[in-house]
């Protein structure tokens, strides 16, 4: 146990000294494995992991979902989603911020990336909210918070990586994220309502759109609905009827989604040759980065398992008769603290190898724990002092201070805490749909 705990502290220390988390986990994991086993055993373990990772068919789902999200972004779907949401909600006080939340949820459903959602919607929604006199705090907060939905509403790259890391069904993780994802949208709408009640000038009402305009706006989002229905419907066998008989594995669903997004962008004339090359290049770079972090996490996981850290932690809990829910509360507190200094993916890959065997050994459902981890990761995306979504938004908007964004995002952060408490008290919110599959 001591060796595993020292290794965890070493990874944290190296990461705080700006070493890339992939190299920090890989280096500590290899040296620790060498100490526990032998130099030859460590080299054999690392080489086997590298070969297995490069040949794992299941991992191909990651670049395909990334590719789908980038093609969606090039297709201009985000603006149409925002226009449709604004047509129905823009006339309310705070309506543009509410429309931003709903549009972020829709874009998240097909991009699977929080950072992409926040960066894209900031370019679409921020100018409109400023034009109607919205405060910078409410405007940026609604985009930063809405962007966090990208890692929970399926398809989600984070859930894919969690599923691969823990050998949990990706299909069940996706369907488990639906209800908590929609809860997130509802709670964020409540946060907007609270913000404009406290300061009515922060979100003045806009003009009302008539029903003809609303129906026209809805017609423009058919591509989003069709793509989402194709990917999710094929994944869960909803389309498995005559004459379609479409039923996909996660990798096949990702492939269909990437192809569908490509065809939509191509049909709209928004995809030139240089755009396609840029999308492929970004996909390759992002995938290489994710695979490096994932490989480092597996090396570190092998070390902590060989050192017996999860088993020793479980033995300590049994010896001191610590209640399982108290253990879960401690784990969540650790996640929230780490979220203040680590970006979401690094935090997930660093902690899951340690906490997952402990949590499942205490009888918690692995699918439910995956959703809980992602919700806590969402909170970390808007938590100071790091709040990765906040800094992405700051980089895009430019002339708004991070302090203004963090102050504006406080009601949304509080709603996330409430949603987390509900998921802890009512696990069926996450597990109802998976049990009906």
Work out the pLDDT band at 416, boundaries 50, 70, 90.
Answer: very high
pLDDT for 189 equals 93
CB 340 within 8 A of CB 386: yes
- Per residue in 298-326, pLDDT (tens digit) is 898 888 888 887 777 778 777 777 888 88
Q: Record the tokens describing residue 322, joined without a space.
A: 């610590």
Distance, in Å, from the CA atom of 437 to the CA atom of 428, rounded to the nearest integer, reads: 14
Using alpha carbons, select from 339, 305, 351 the residue that is nearest to residue 148. Answer: 339
CB 126 within 8 A of CB 143: yes
**What are the backbone dihedrals phi and psi of residue 285, each rounded to the nearest 5 degrees, phi first?**
-65, -45
Q: Record the tokens describing residue 239, joined without a space.
A: 């389309």
Distance, in Å, from the CA atom of 269 to the CA atom of 382, rounded to the nearest integer, reads: 35
pLDDT for 191 equals 94
Distance, in Å, from the CA atom of 260 to the CA atom of 273, rounded to the nearest integer, reads: 17
pTM of full prediction above 0.85: no
- Per residue in 78-98, pLDDT (tens digit) is 778 888 888 888 888 899 899
pLDDT at 367 over 90: yes
Number of H helices, E strands in the chain: 23, 0
- Per residue in 335-365, pLDDT (tens digit) is 877 776 676 777 788 888 888 988 888 889 9
Give the mean model confidence (pLDDT) for residues 322-337. Answer: 85
Using alpha carbons, select from 80, 76, 77 the residue that is nearest to residue 99. Answer: 80
Radius of gyration of the chain (CA): 22
Give the mean model confidence (pLDDT) for residues 258-273. Answer: 83
Work out the pLDDT band at 242, boundaries 50, 70, 90.
Answer: low
Domain ranges of the chain: 2-435
Contacts of residue 113, defined as CB under 8 A and 6 or more positions apart, other chains included, come to: 66, 69, 150, 151, 157
Q: Record the tokens describing residue 57, joined without a space.
A: 């068919």
pLDDT for 354 equals 84
């Amino acid at each position: 146990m001591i060796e595993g705990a020292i290794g965890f502290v070493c990874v944290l220390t190296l990461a705080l000294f700006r070493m890339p988390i992939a190299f920090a986990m890989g280096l500590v994991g290899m040296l620790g494995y060498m100490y526990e086993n032998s130099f030859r055993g460590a080299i054999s373990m690392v080489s086997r992991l590298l070969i297995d990772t490069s040949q794992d068919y299941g991992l191909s789902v990651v670049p395909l979902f990334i590719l789908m999200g980038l093609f969606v972004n090039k297709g201009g779907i985000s603006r149409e989603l925002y226009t449709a949401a604004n047509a129905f909600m823009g006339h309310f006080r705070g309506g543009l911020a509410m429309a931003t939340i709903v549009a972020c949820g829709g874009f998240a459903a097909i991009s699977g990336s929080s950072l992409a959602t926040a960066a894209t919607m900031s370019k679409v929604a921020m100018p409109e909210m400023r034009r109607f006199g919205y405060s910078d705090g409410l405007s940026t907060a609604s985009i930063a918070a809405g962007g966090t939905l990208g890692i929970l509403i399926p398809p989600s790259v984070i859930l894919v990586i969690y599923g691969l890391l823990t050998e949990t069904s990706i299909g069940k993780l996706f369907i488990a994220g639906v209800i908590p994802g929609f809860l997130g949208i509802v709670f964020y709408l409540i946060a907007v309502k609270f913000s404009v009640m406290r300061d009515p000038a922060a979100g003045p009402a806009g003009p009302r759109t008539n029903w003809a305009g609303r129906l026209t706006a809805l017609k423009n989002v058919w591509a989003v609905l069709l793509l989402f229905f194709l990917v999710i419907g094929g994944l869960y066998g909803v389309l498995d009827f005559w004459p379609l008989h479409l039923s996909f594995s996660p990798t096949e669903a990702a492939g269909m989604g990437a192809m569908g997004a490509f065809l939509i962008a191509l049909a709209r004339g928004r995809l030139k040759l240089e755009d396609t090359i840029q999308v492929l290049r970004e996909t390759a770079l992002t995938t290489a980065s994710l695979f490096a972090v994932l490989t480092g996490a597996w090396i570190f996981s092998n070390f902590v398992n060989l050192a017996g850290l999860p088993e020793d932690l479980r033995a300590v809990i049994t010896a001191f008769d610590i209640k399982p829910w108290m253990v879960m509360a401690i784990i969540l507190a650790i996640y929230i603290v780490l979220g203040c200094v680590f970006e979401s993916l690094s935090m997930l890959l660093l902690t899951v190898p340690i906490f997952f065997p402990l949590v499942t050994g205490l009888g918690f459902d692995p699918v439910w724990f995956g959703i809980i981890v992602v919700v806590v990761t969402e909170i970390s995306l808007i938590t100071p002092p790091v709040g990765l979504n906040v800094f992405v938004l700051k980089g895009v908007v430019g002339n708004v201070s991070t302090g203004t964004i963090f102050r504006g995002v406080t009601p949304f952060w509080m709603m996330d805490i409430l949603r987390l408490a509900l998921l802890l008290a009512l696990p069926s919110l996450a597990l109802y749909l998976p049990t009906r599959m």
